[in-house]
Chain A
Amino acid sequence: MIYFDNNATTALHPEVLKEMLPFLTSQQGNPASNHTFGRKAHTALEEAREKVAASVNAHPSQVIFTSSGTESNNTIINGIAKAYSNSHFGYSSIEHPCISEPIKSLVSQGYKISEIPVDSNGIFNVSSISDKTKKSLTFLSVMMANNETGVIQNIAEIADWSKKNTIQFHTDAVQALGKIKVDFEALDIDAMTISSHKIYGPQGVAALIVNKKIDIIPYMQGGGQEKGLRSGTENIAAIIGFGKACERSSQNLVEFKENIGRLRLILEKALLAIGAIIFCENSNRLSNTTFFSFKNIDGSTLLTALDRKGFAIASGSACSSNSSEPSHVLLSMGVDLDLAQGALRISLGLESTEGEVNGFIDTLKDEVDRLRQMAAVAA
């Protein structure tokens, strides 16, 4: 089986596993305990925090460990809502549901919210925010790179605009980390979400990076871990793995720029040659992501056929892949329903090879031909 679904989750890197194993297999304390076992766990926890902070140029004290990107995003949104009761939440129309859903859930509590559309290239422009919205907006969340199209937003510009308009700004950098450079300090933003399992670290751990200028009231209360912002015994083994994955992520950047980008070029050239439409083709995108569709070919049929031939790809984001709903990202860009419904996503990873890509192209060509012939017969 060839795995081309690295935006859904990545395989644990062997070096990460090696660092984690002692924390899974030998006796480990609770980092809150005041004895040798506890202190060792606590030290390891803080070392991991430093590595995570360094990978995004943040201060260790700004890193709050959580259990997932979803939890991080919910923590910032609900935390802001509770701390600032007059909040007006803005978000781009292509956000992951773990941004849009918690924001939508605030409407019933009387909060104002605004969904802000992207253009047909999948790009968010501050100019599309109306003057009226701008006046009352207090919080804005725009993802750094989209999980489906791979489009990279100009976060520096949006952050700058937000600051000028005294709007709290958060970016979901889950897909960006490890693929492009992420610099929390240089961006000078209020909060950012990153996750471990998208960067060859383990599942079950993520972080919220928060600038202390803003207050948040935490979702989970209890033992007061993570400076009271996220109670619960720390998931030590996973946090150690996350730290190591972050440390490695700067190495990945080179790999992404040189090797993976080259593979995608080969892939996309072949896709275009057989009539595929590549979404956001000319936008600035993550170098591993291709989101495409064929006119008059049913995406789910193609997906199943490719799976049978040993290629694991996705029809959109993993989180919504059990629904047959077309991609909300594509629809908000104004893509036709038919085309959106057939969309398939390939996300390459560190382990992807040219041989795999060529094998995929050959198989895809065969399958597309077959499906087109069948369609011709049926017509």
Chain B
Amino acid sequence: MKNKLHDMPIYMDYSATTPVDPRVAKKMIPYITEDFGNPASRSHPYGWAAEKAVENARREIALLVNADPKEIVWTSGATESNNLAIKGASNFYSKKGKHIITLATEHKAVIDAVRECERVGYEATFLEPEPNGLLDIEKFKSTIRPDTVLVSVMLVNNEIGVIQDITAIGNICRENNVIFHVDAAQATGKVKIDLEKLPVDLMSFSAHKTYGPKGVGALYVRRKPRIRIEPQIHGGGHERGMRSGTLAPHQIVGMGEAFRIAREEMDEENNRIKNLQTKLLKGLTEIEETYVNGDLEKRVPHNLNISFNYVEGESLIMAIKDIAVSSGSACTSASLEPSYVLRALGRSDELAHSSIRFSIGRFTTESDVEFTIALLKEKIGKLRELSPLWEMYKDGVDLEKVEWAEH
């Protein structure tokens, strides 16, 4: 059941990155070999071919999210899109005010971009979501101030997979004349996005979370009504001045193809993945003392985040090395800190520490899921056998009331 060919573990970390779809790779390769031109070269066919490919890909991005191709700006990835949106919009509209609202559970790229705004004189509110990971709309409404310039809320959370009510949040932003940015890096190909209807001004996309290559992303910038951003990278004036720098056609072509496949196949694929999720959820919650993190209804089928009580997270990860999973988001998994997302949901340190994110996708099979369930059942059983806390819990000791002796 392991990937015998490369002797690699089973990949269950699709929210960290997805493999490049073979169809995407095939489409990319001609653009690094024969059609290698610089799309900004206007004097010869090498440049024209590259430019045409870039524009076709731009159309594909727009089609997936029902936008105009002119509203799509290429970037190097969602981190850049988020930084460009947050700094670019808050700078441009700073006359309105210098207050920014975001969620405590946003991706680091949003949180740290907002922190940078704080450093240069903005004020920020980091809203705590409800215990199910969703933002309380009334609570959000009450934090808007006359000087609120920008709101940034992610569509799908990278750690717990919950889907925020972007329409409701966006409508409140519109009523209050506030720019609304949405990080949709984890959403493309998983939830339907219709920017003609959604009250969203700026939206970030990533290729490598949707079976495209790393190193490319996009930012949607609404044209009607027109949203302005102050560019963060200056130079040759590419991307209508919003983002200078030579474009990498092969990567852009890859993102276009990845988004085309997502558009055409997402309905069917999500049904299949939903069945796998149901199976995984059923199998894993047969294990005693498991807690699913985040709302189960308003959630993408690709994600399950579960805390296994009375098991230490690090030793659990070590014990289940035959599957590749993470204990938080990839970007912060090098640190041993418990996930700040789970902490924001009000989970105890212990439960946050014992959480595993299972993220499944296009190439996950039923037998992968069966293997995972069997592996978790076995290893958690063994780890708990060694755990004095588990023993106390089984003996009916209320651990909350135990007074621990000081060392």
A residues sitting closer than 8 Å to B (CB atoms) are 1, 3, 5, 8-12, 17, 20-21, 24-30, 32-38, 66-71, 73-74, 78, 82, 96-98, 101-102, 104-105, 197, 202-205, 217, 219-225, 231-238, 303, 307, 311-315, 317-322
Contact = CB atoms under 8 A, between A and B. Distances in A.
Given A8-B38, A68-B245, 20 more contacts: A5-B38, A5-B44, A29-B17, A32-B330, A33-B330, A35-B9, A38-B16, A70-B244, A98-B245, A219-B83, A222-B109, A224-B112, A231-B108, A232-B77, A234-B215, A235-B215, A238-B251, A307-B45, A318-B47, A318-B236
Contact of B43 (A36, A73, A105, A312): A312
7 contacts: A21-B29, A24-B20, A38-B330, A73-B235, A97-B236, A221-B113, A315-B43
Interface of B: 6, 8-9, 11, 13, 16-17, 19-20, 22, 25, 28-29, 32-33, 36-38, 40-47, 75-80, 82-83, 107-110, 112-113, 115-116, 120, 206, 208, 213-216, 231-238, 244-251, 317, 321, 324-327, 329-334
Given A26-B6, A33-B326, A224-B331, A74 B250 contact: no
Given A5-B41, A30-B16, A97-B237, A71 B215 contact: no
Contacts of A197: 38, 246, 248
A222 B107 contact: yes
- Chain A CB within 10 Å — which of B41, B75, B110, B235 has the most? B235
A220 B78 CA distance: 10
A105 B6 CA distance: 50
A35 B13 contact: yes
A205 B215 contact: yes
B32 A35 contact: no
B99 to A, nearest CB: 19
A102 B313 CA distance: 46
B187 to A, nearest CB: 16
B106 to A, nearest CB: 10
Contact of A29 (B13, B112, B237, B247): B13
A101 B235 CA distance: 5
Given A32-B334, A238-B251, A220 B38 contact: no
Given A222-B113, A232-B76, A8 B41 contact: yes
Name the 10 nearest CB pairs between A and B, nearest first. A235-B215, A204-B248, A223-B331, A319-B236, A222-B109, A98-B235, A67-B76, A312-B44, A221-B112, A232-B79
A3 B17 CA distance: 37
A318 B112 contact: no
